[in-house]
Amino acid sequence: MYTRVDVLAVYCIYYLIGPGLIVQSLYLDGCKNALGMQSYEIPDSAITASSFHDEKTVGPQNARIRTELYGGAWCPKAVISKDSYEKDSYQYLQIDLSKLTVITQVEVQGRFGNGKGKEYTTHFLLEYQREDDGEWIRFRNKTGGEIFDGNSNTYIAELRPVSPAIIGKRIRFIPYSRHPRTVCMRVEVYGCPWLDGVLSYDVRQGDKRGTEVDLSDFSYDGIIMDNYLTEGLGQLTDGQYGDSNFRLDQDGLGIKGYEWVGWRNDSTLHSGPLEIKFKFDTVRTFNFMNIHCNNFFSKEVKVFRMARVYFSISGKYFLKDPVQYDFQPDNVVEYARNVTIPLEKSTGQFIKLKLYFDMKWLMISEIQFDSVVDNGTFYSENPPTTTHAPTLTSANTSHQASGAVEEIDVQERYGTSEDSGSTDDRVGQKKAASTKAPDEDYFSIIIGALSALFAILIVIVVIIIVRIKRRNNSNNMQTLTIVGEAQLTLKLNNTNGTPNEKISIATGDGKTDLKQCNNIGVVAPMDFEGPDIEKERNLVVALPPMTIQGQKSSFKRQSPMMSNLLDNTSNLYAASDVINSQVPNIPSLQGVSGNSIYAVPNADLLLSVDYSVIEFPRRNLRCVEILGEGQFGEVHLCEAFGMQESMQPYTVNRRASSSALVAVKVLRSNADDRARAEFLREIKIMSMLKDPNIIQVLGVCTREESICIILEYMQYGDLTQFLLDHVSETNATASNAKKLSYGCQIYMASQIASGMKYLESLNMVHRDLAARNCLVGTKFTIKISDFGMSRSLYSADYYRIEGRAVLPIRWMAWESILLGKFTTKSDVWAFAVTLWEILTFAREQPYETLSDEHVIENAGHYYRNDNQQIYLPQPAICPKEIYDLMLECWNRLESERPSFREINMFLLRKNMGYDPRQEILGGINVLDC
């Protein structure tokens, strides 16, 4: 029996030496043996070529490195050029390794020919074949590159690493040259036998975790179709282990978490356990398997709670009695670890592994098998002969050599087997063959059918009752309720039915699902939409009458109709037609693609000016994910290939070819004429904005449906997620915490003020200024955007007035909430709330302790001027002069609020001498900007 001291000692040892043990793969470090070209372990008969000048002198058998035999190398007959590597006509040297081999390095050398040779290849490519008569696969490195550097002379051998390692039986060297030339080659191959025997694995593609971390299987060399991987190998068998912190870029590839493949458990398209199917080279007897899993539970990542391993000879049917393994959850140590599953000498050529989630994310970097070839005689499984419901018996790790089999497609994939559920009472249970009599089965079926019918009737009754109540509520929607003296009744709907819900995801990932990006033609994740049924809530806001003097000072810019209504306060709440003339006329903030749109008072004048916009090829856009969507359009996050030089600061190193991360607003093809006109109007207005702190239009796609507008997008996403991922420089306790100095926060705020100063000069009103609508780039550059309203990630920050508008009420000035009045001064109010978000690191919503009813009631106190209004509290790191600025921005009188020009100058003075480069040079651990 272990004592608490023993357990603590184990954890201490794990913390001290654990990371070093799991990051490096000893398997690959010891897999660099010469495979036999120079030593003649590879016979001449195993070396072939596409062509040669003369077989005896420069035939393929002479391609042995550091060997001077006859002509001294293999020389293809054809002249090599940059077009010679196309698969239909390329020249190659082929080596048959006779068995599955891991290839980690290759070595090339030119033709020395005892000093007479002049031929060598400057570059080359590799292809490999894993199965007899299988497809030849073109090797690509971790960044997608295919071309290796070759030789620069005829005598020095050049050793080139192959990463990720190749697993195959045969390999081809393909010479390549950017200019036509005659080439010759001598080669050697380095590696070791592939003992695992895995030929392929099939699994669904990994998911993206926000905009920064992509947990896809990048190196998979099989078929990728409909987001499913088949007939290939990839990162799960490449011998490279991931670090516990999956957000690191271990190899400097520009891809965080490359070593990990990760899956979410809340995808509507892929419910239930994660299923991986393995194919082996022959029938094997399996001892155990190792699965290297992440357990970073503070980031919602844990090891699977249960694994079931099924075996098959043919791969069509799997034994119903799996090996089952229950993992004891570890809620103390967050390091990644190998989980060993005993396989109890089970036999098969195919393995189906089912992993049951214990948290939102499951991440795996490596799967290895310990097995031996079984030379016995085996027969394929027979199809299922019974559909009887199985009985369940308790076990911890169980496997029986039952002849019962399981049909993959019907029973497993579509959830009709025992694995379709995931309740706790199924943990530690396994199936056995049913022995029920047929009569008992028929009786059970009848009882089940009657029970299902009864349940359906209950559901129908409930639906009818709900619809009747909803219809009654709809009929009474326009009724005005008078509560006390001069009180106003509104009906508001929360966009997700959850009041005061704060979404705080420090890793930057929202709930994602898979959706076809029909408008661009690729598959990409999207933010999960809110429920279709919205919760109705009655809002009662007290608005006592004001003095006539107060009305004139506060609303001197109102229209005559509004002034008349306010002058006669007895009429303000007297009848519903007065209410409908005020509050319901709040203008819509939402564009056709779901984003907020600017208010432009002099729009006709601006639209009369022509601005040129670049027409960008639609084929050069690759959708990464859907940021949000509206009634007639969507906002996509895309990679744009071949963008102009001005886009270089935003280039993302995700592949070999350079690409730019951009936001693309798409108008759906089914949009009506009004939506199309609004979208074109938005394009024209956005294209005229030219300020370094506002996202700019980079191009459009208008030559075919659906119309797109391409906008800048910043490397580190929106400011809210950036702040959530950082801590204050003064409050940081962990040495590896991402710290942000006060000077950097003010620097970012001053950029927001600068961008708003530009809009103010054009008399344009943003109407949705918040941290979620600010994007962060290199060197802490800030650009103001308008995507926040379309993202379900921030749905809790908005309220919907039924059939009228979506409003960010916690950022809005009181006159905007109650009177629908939006000006540059109401943007000043929102800026102060945004500044408050920055100084609190966006850890909570504004007015977190107030319900939405009380937020609007607080606006009523401003209207009444009764000194009962509540202000946002002063942040802990906020100096008095900065908080005084916020209070000025929240002044009841618009005329008393500062302009953005004044705010920008004030912040620049307070932050004079600050250099964003010092955030790095000073040794503060922040993003590499």
Query: Would you name the residues annotated as active-site residues?
Result: 768
Give the containing element (helix H, strand E) for 576.
Answer: helix 576-582
DSSP state of 42: S
Angle at 718 between CA 335 and CA 702, to 5 degrees: 125
Structure tokens at 630: 């509206």
Alpha-carbon gap, residue 326 to 163, rounded angstroms: 34
Structure tokens at 575: 């009848």
DSSP state of 314: S
CA distances from 828 to 531, 767, 807, 810 (A): 33, 10, 17, 14
Alpha-carbon gap, residue 324 to 315, rounded angstroms: 19
Alpha-carbon gap, residue 80 to 89, rounded angstroms: 11
Give the containing element (helix H, strand E) for 684.
Answer: helix 673-687
* Sign (positive or negative) of CA dihedral 468, 473, 476, 477: negative
Q: What is the DSSP string of 73-125?
A: SB--SSPB-TTTTSTTT---EEEEEEEEEEEEEEEEE---GGGT-----SEEE
Among the listed residues 53, 161, 162, the one whose alpha carbon sits nearest the alpha carbon of residue 111 = 53
CA distances from 140 to 100, 130, 147 (A): 19, 15, 8
User: 653: Cβ–Cβ under 8 A, 6 or more apart, which residues?
Assistant: 143, 253, 254, 255
Cα 178 to chain center, whole Å? 38
Phi, psi for residue 167 in degrees, rounded to 5: -120, 110
User: 98: Cβ–Cβ under 8 A, 6 or more apart, which residues?
Assistant: 46, 169
Q: Is 495 left (phi over 0), alpha (psi -120 to 50) or beta?
A: alpha
DSSP state of 679: H
How many other β-carbons are positioned within 10 Å of the β-carbon of residue 678?
Answer: 20
Among the listed residues 490, 642, 559, 639, the one whose alpha carbon sits nearest the alpha carbon of residue 823 = 559
Largest CA distance in the chain: 110
First-last CA distance in the chain:
52
Structure tokens at 139: 């090797």
* Sign (positive or negative) of CA dihedral 110, 113, 115, 116: negative
Among the listed residues 873, 869, 767, the one whose alpha carbon sits nearest the alpha carbon of residue 828 = 767
DSSP state of 414: T
Alpha-carbon gap, residue 895 to 874, rounded angstroms: 24
Give the containing element (helix H, strand E) for 432.
Answer: strand 429-432
The number of residues making up the chain comes to: 929
Report, in angstroms and rounded to the nearest whole number, the Rg of the chain calculated over CA atoms: 33
Torsion over CA of 541, 545, 551 and 557, rounded to 10 degrees?
Answer: 30
Among the listed residues 273, 270, 271, 249, the one whose alpha carbon sits nearest the alpha carbon of residue 259 = 249
Token pair 């082929």 is found at 94
Q: Are 761 and 606 in contact (CB under 8 A)?
A: no
Q: Are 883 and 839 in contact (CB under 8 A)?
A: no
Among the listed residues 522, 712, 710, the one whose alpha carbon sits nearest the alpha carbon of residue 617 = 710
Angle at 467 between CA 462 and CA 468, to 5 degrees: 100
